[in-house]
Amino acid sequence: MESESPILIDRASAYGDGVFETIAIRDGNARFWPRHLDRLQTGCASLGIACPTPAELEQKMRAEMRRSDVRSEFASARLVVAAGDSPRGYRRTASAPPRVSVELFTARALPRVHYEVGVTLRRCNLRLAIQPALAGIKSLNRLEQVLARAEWDAADIFEGLLLDLDGRLICGTMSNVFIALNSTLVTPAITRCGVSGIMRAHVLQLLSEAGIECEIRDVSGDELDNADECFLTNSQFGVLPVKGCGGQEWGIGTMARQAQSLAAANGVPECAP
Amino acid sequence: MESESPILIDRASAYGDGVFETIAIRDGNARFWPRHLDRLQTGCASLGIACPTPAELEQKMRAEMRRSDVRSEFASARLVVAAGDSPRGYRRTASAPPRVSVELFTARALPRVHYEVGVTLRRCNLRLAIQPALAGIKSLNRLEQVLARAEWDAADIFEGLLLDLDGRLICGTMSNVFIALNSTLVTPAITRCGVSGIMRAHVLQLLSEAGIECEIRDVSGDELDNADECFLTNSQFGVLPVKGCGGQEWGIGTMARQAQSLAAANGVPECAP
């Protein structure tokens, strides 16, 4: 049926057939650009989309910064690489070029108090599906995150944590999570579901360089129950300590503070404790 | 972060935040409109999107049929109900109205030989993730189907069958599947993943009215190996017998022929054997 129509559809809106990056723009520069580029290329490869060259993507970013009214001292850019148009149907047209779009959004640093005393989370009811074919990448199929985010409206809940269908802790709706367990730092493996975060990778590198061990492995929901401390990472806000989740309460631990300080000293000044 | 930007994003293309129907248009009428309407309403309820009234949706359909150059004697309509625009971020804006769009596409009946001697399938490598929160509905998150459809290019492969991560047979990339096992007709339960097809429901009703038993239950990959016959259903093409899948070969069985004949006599004349 799918080859019969000359009318084309936009595959991003029809099927979520693409990947995106949300990039912190600081003083006119795309922060952690090489990492974003790498995840974009990985995502395109996973989906079989021909990723434009780094030069082409940089040129698009710069053009949007020139075009936009949004001040690029402190902003966010949404960069999308999607499969191009095709006739209706799941099959892609081999010859269609990918569609690249960039849009700049205003941003503001989070309130200082978030970094100072930590934020409060909830544990979401929605469980993430296990789909290794899409794990790690940031595709345009984000209904699970939308459904999870729709679970709460209270302004004092900053983020929701997500377990997978088998009960493993994976990540937040828009962030990655680290916990301290018996003085060891642990962050969930992103092999079955979840997004492999840019700030997560940056913090993991900084921890490693500082000689602080962090295990990347499966983490059970029970381990979250027993955590001694908890913090979040995200490319826009950096590192945020967590003071509570559901019934749990945490003091701000030394590991969260170390991660904040390391990030603040290495490209993410806004997250200084 | 998400409340800070006055620039709005289209949630359908950003997150796949919506549902759609592909509706067969025959002689100017939307075939099985009540069934499509029902699935659309179910999908909107699952996602928490305020579904427009049936009258509003019908009006949109009629307006598109008047507007479009596509002849509505034999066409397909793509009806989308998506969450409206919002600031960037997974959180929806409560007040944003849903966005409804309809587009008419030309269609042609499949070649007669498909209905007469059957089509050939492949078994896809991609496994469907188990996500009860999205099972049955036809959301705009369709990357699994895109990836599965990208597995083959051969023109003689009509469709690919999909198992879930646990090895159960679920459906095709764009169709539902029925198999005969020891003279009993079986179709996979659509409770963990897959789309609950309009033609599947129509055929199940026709079979029931004709006194032909069809079990709706979990079906293992082994049961597919041992099937005596196999056929597909889809709202556009009706019922299609399957003559082979991978190494398997089937003759066209009595059950496929019965389903074809029942559908052909009840609103789907193009699938007469």
Query: Read out DSSP for A115-170?
Result: HHH-EEEEEEEEEE---TTTTBS-BS--HHHHHHHTT---TT--EEEEEETTSEEE
The reply to whether A237 falls in a domain is yes
| A15 and A84 co-located in one domain | yes
Q: Which residues pair with B120 in a beta bridge?
A: B244
| A93 and A189 co-located in one domain | no
- Whole-angstrom Cα distance, residue B207 to residue B212? 5
| B137 and B245 co-located in one domain | yes
The reply to whether A170 falls in a domain is yes
Q: Which residue has the tokens 């997500």?
A: A162
- Whole-angstrom Cα distance, residue B239 to residue B249? 18
| B43 and B152 co-located in one domain | no
Name residue B226's amino acid: N
- Whole-angstrom Cα distance, residue A118 to residue A21? 26
pLDDT given for residue A2 in this prediction: 43
A162-220 pLDDT tens trace: 999 999 999 999 999 999 999 999 999 999 999 999 999 999 999 999 999 999 999 99
| B51 and B168 co-located in one domain | no
Q: How far is A183 from chain B (nearest CA, A)?
A: 31
Nearest to A7 among B13, B105, B234 (CB): B105
Mutate to test the interface with B, among A2, A3, A5 (most CBs of B within 10 A): A5
A142, B105: Cβ pair inside 8 Å?
A: no
Name the band, by pLDDT with cuts 50, 70 and 90, for residue B233.
very high
Residue at a domain's end among A51, A72, A106: A106
- Whole-angstrom Cα distance, residue B136 to residue B142? 13
| A71 and A132 co-located in one domain | no
B47, A143: Cβ pair inside 8 Å?
A: yes
CATH number, domain at A250? 3.20.10.10
A1, B76: Cβ pair inside 8 Å?
A: yes
Segments forming the whole domain that contains residue A62? 8-106
Residue at a domain's end among B56, B90, B106: B106
| B89 and B180 co-located in one domain | no
| A99 and A129 co-located in one domain | no
Side-by-side strand order, sheet with A18-26: A29-30, A18-26, A74-82, A99-106
CATH number, domain at A65? 3.30.470.10
| A177 and A260 co-located in one domain | yes
- The tokens describing B262, both together, are 């029942």
The reply to whether B56 falls in a domain is yes
pLDDT given for residue A270 in this prediction: 94
Question: What is the number of domains present in chain A?
Answer: 2
- The tokens describing B97, both together, are 């109205």
The reply to whether B2 falls in a domain is no
- Whole-angstrom Cα distance, residue B95 to residue B112? 49
Name the band, by pLDDT with cuts 50, 70 and 90, for residue B253.
confident
- Whole-angstrom Cα distance, residue B100 to residue A140? 20
- Supply the ipTM of this predicted assembly: 0.96
Name the band, by pLDDT with cuts 50, 70 and 90, for residue A95.
confident
The reply to whether A2 falls in a domain is no
Section B49-54 average pLDDT = 97
| B153 and B35 co-located in one domain | no
The reply to whether B97 falls in a domain is yes
pLDDT given for residue A3 in this prediction: 43
Residue at a domain's end among A56, A85, A106: A106
| B159 and B264 co-located in one domain | yes
Using a CB-CB cut-off of 8 Å, the residues of chain B touching A92 are 146, 149-150
The reply to whether A69 falls in a domain is yes
Determine if the pTM surpasses 0.90.
Answer: yes
Section A81-108 average pLDDT = 92
pLDDT given for residue B5 in this prediction: 46
| A147 and A193 co-located in one domain | yes
- Whole-angstrom Cα distance, residue B73 to residue A240? 59
